[in-house]
């Protein structure tokens, strides 16, 4: 069986074009590397192909730099084949205490502006955001006049189309299983997609 090509993104400390050249030279010696894209400003290296992420880390470390895996996935297709999707994102969650989870969200490919990250009732992304359902616990929070745990927070996306947010929420990791996260443009302090 042939392994499909996938994209893996790494955070790599780089200071100049020479750093990028060293990294690209080391990665080009690996089998299964089709495309390398390095972004000096964002300190990210994207590798497309079939090379194992551990082999990529070793190749980058051979240049004297560290590499931290930021995300991985298919680069050629969307999870929803009928939805055009040039946006790529990664959310890392770590439960640091009972009912306290830190969330590190990064996203790229969006137009500059203010966005709201929300957790949805469903993990079904077959039709993009439309199939993910309402914002998790939105109606319950509204009824009880409490903050909604399904609204993660605001993400500012800059001119380069990249945004990130680091926050904490009173949730358990297991509560996120089977759900999806949607990042939607915010207008006048409100999420465009309203929960029903």
DSSP of 75-111, one letter per residue?
SS--SSTTS----EEEEEEEEEETTEEEEEEEEESPP
Q: How confident is the model at residue 90 (pLDDT cuts 50, 70, 90)?
A: confident
Per-residue pLDDT tens digits for 2-26? 667 888 888 899 999 999 999 999 9
Q: What is the rounded average pLDDT for all residues in the chain?
A: 84
Residue 59 clears pLDDT 90, i.e. is over it? yes
Domain range annotation of the chain: 6-73, 88-191
Find out whether 62 and 21 touch, Cβ atoms under 8 Å. Answer: no
Q: How confident is the model at residue 74 (pLDDT cuts 50, 70, 90)?
A: low
Residue 29 clears pLDDT 80, i.e. is over it? yes
Residue, of 90 and 189, whose pLDDT is higher: 90
Residue 186 three-state SS:
strand
Per-residue pLDDT tens digits for 61-72? 999 999 988 776
Task: Average the pLDDT over 76-102 and give the result.
Answer: 72
Residue 196 clears pLDDT 60, i.e. is over it? no
Spell out the CATH class of 88-191: mainly beta
Right CATH for 6-73 from 3.40.50.300, 3.40.50.10800, 3.30.70.100, 3.80.10.10: 3.30.70.100
Q: How confident is the model at residue 192 (pLDDT cuts 50, 70, 90)?
A: very low
């Amino acid at each position: 069986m042939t392994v499909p090509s996938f994209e893996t993104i790494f955070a790599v400390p780089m200071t100049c074009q020479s750093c990028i050249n060293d990294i690209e030279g080391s990665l080009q010696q690996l089998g299964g590397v089709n495309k390398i894209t390095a972004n000096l400003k964002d300190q990210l290296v994207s590798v497309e192909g079939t090379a194992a992420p551990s082999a990529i880390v070793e190749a980058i470390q051979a240049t004297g730099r560290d590499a931290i895996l930021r995300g991985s996935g298919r680069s050629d297709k969307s999870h929803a084949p009928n939805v055009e999707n040039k946006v790529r994102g990664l959310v890392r969650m770590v439960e640091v205490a009972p009912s306290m989870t830190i969330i590190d969200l990064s996203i790229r490919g969006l137009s500059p502006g203010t966005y709201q990250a929300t957790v949805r009732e469903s993990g079904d992304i077959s039709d993009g955001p439309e199939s993910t359902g309402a914002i998790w616990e939105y109606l319950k929070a509204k009824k009880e006049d409490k903050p909604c745990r399904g609204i993660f927070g605001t993400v500012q996306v800059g001119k380069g189309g990249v945004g990130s947010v680091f926050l904490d929420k009173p949730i358990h990791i297991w509560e996120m299983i089977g759900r999806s996260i949607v990042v939607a443009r915010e207008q006048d302090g409100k999420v465009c997609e309203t929960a029903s």
